Structure formats: C-alpha cells, structure tokens
Copies of this chain bind each other. A is one copy, B any other.
Amino acid sequence: MKKQKTRDHIVEAADQLFYQQGYEHTSFTDISDAVQISRGNFYYHFKTKDDILDAVISARMDKTRKMLAQWELDGSTPQGRIECFIRILITNRDKILNYGCPVGTLTTELAKLNHASREEANALFTLFRTWLEEQFILLGRSKDADDLAMHLLARSQGVATLASAFHDAKFIDQEVAQMCDWLNAYMPKE
C-alpha cells in the first residue's frame, strides 16, 4: 500500500466531478477546490489533465472489477448474478437521475471530443459486456451470449438516459422489473 494520499484524493475528486459535470467542463480549479490544494500542486502528481482522466478511468476499472467479483459471490446462479447487474440501476438510482450512467456519459463525451482515451473508457463497457456474456454462456446460451449481453447493456443504458432526462425514478423501477421478467421468461429454467 503506497502512501499517496493527495494523489488519491485528486483522483477521487476528479472521478466525482467528471461524472457530475463532465470531463471538459471540469477545470483544475474545480478539482483543487474540492481537494483543498493549490492548482500548482497538481503538477507534482500529474503531468497533464489527460493523465488525471487516465487515472480516473483506471480507478473505475478497478472498482468495476471488484464489483463484478462481488456479484460472483452474491449470486449463486447466473440468473441471480445478471439480476445484480440489472439492479445497479436501483442501487444507484439517485445518482443516475441526476447524472446518468457514469460509463455511458463518459464514453459519449470522449467520443465527441475525439479524445485519445476514448478506447480506455470503452473498456469499462467491455468489462460488463464480457462478464454478462460469461453468465449467459453458463445459462447455456453460448450461441448468442454476446448478443444478449449487448442487449441488456443497451437496455440499461437507455433507461439511465431517459430516467435522467425526465428525472423519473418510477420509470427506472418499472424497466428494472421488466428486464428481470425478460431474464426469467426468456432463459431456460433450471
């Protein structure tokens, strides 16, 4: 465990602010205000703003991997584990209503900016995609496991976008229930 308190604080604050305000719209002043350091101090820890973004994406990758590993423990069946994925919409309901999906909004923004780290951000999607694919394979759907993974990713993504636009919590609950129904009706029974 390295002692990098300030660096970690910067990454944590930048992570939140990039999510809430967008990457480009977040200035060094915003981050330094949040971390309570001077703007100059940044450059001891990072060379450029892009480097902070890379650190944020890397931190999100780690957090996501840990969450997926936890879901492996939480759900005893593939269905149960996929339900864990569907339910993040409810777990993070309030944040999603205000700021949308952290993965979708970042990849969308970086795509418009044609940013060098675009693909790194997309890897966050791939993490979920591959994990979901594995679960569908375990359900005996190896032929279309990736299609089902993409389908579910897209459904969640659309729900987050619309729920955020209309600030509609009920819509999230409704669609989550529908996705769970879809999962149980569409999949072979054990």
**Which residue in B147, B162, B165 is a CB contact (below 8 Å) of A174?**
B147
Segment from A6-14, A16-24, A62-70, A77-85 that makes contact with B? A16-24
- The size class of the interface chain A forms with chain B is 35 or more
- Do A157 and B147 touch (CB < 8 A)? no
- Do B147 and A154 touch (CB < 8 A)? no
8 Å CB interface, A157-175 against B: 157-159, 161-162, 164-166, 168, 171, 174-175
- Do B147 and A20 touch (CB < 8 A)? no
Indicate if A125 sits at the interface (CB-CB under 8 A): yes
- Do A109 and B109 touch (CB < 8 A)? yes
| Residues of B with C-beta under 8 A to A100 | 108, 111
Q: State the oligomeric state as a number of copies.
A: 2
Indicate if A107 sits at the interface (CB-CB under 8 A): yes
| Residues of B with C-beta under 8 A to A130 | none
Closest B residue to A146 using CB positions: B171
With contacts A151-B178, A175-B154 known, is A165 near B111, CB below 8 A?
Answer: yes
Give A162 to B174 CA distance when docked, in angstroms.
22
Indicate if A99 sits at the interface (CB-CB under 8 A): yes
| Residues of B with C-beta under 8 A to A151 | 175, 178
With contacts A100-B111, A174-B147 known, is A153 near B158, CB below 8 A?
Answer: yes
Closest 4 A-B residue pairs measured CB to CB?
Answer: A158-B158, A154-B158, A157-B158, A22-B112
Q: List 9 A-B contacts (CB under 8 A).
A: A25-B113, A100-B111, A104-B161, A107-B161, A108-B165, A125-B166, A154-B161, A157-B158, A158-B161
Residues of A within 8 A of B (CB): 20-22, 24-25, 99-100, 104-105, 107-109, 111-114, 122, 125, 147, 150-151, 153-159, 161-162, 164-166, 168, 171, 174-175, 178
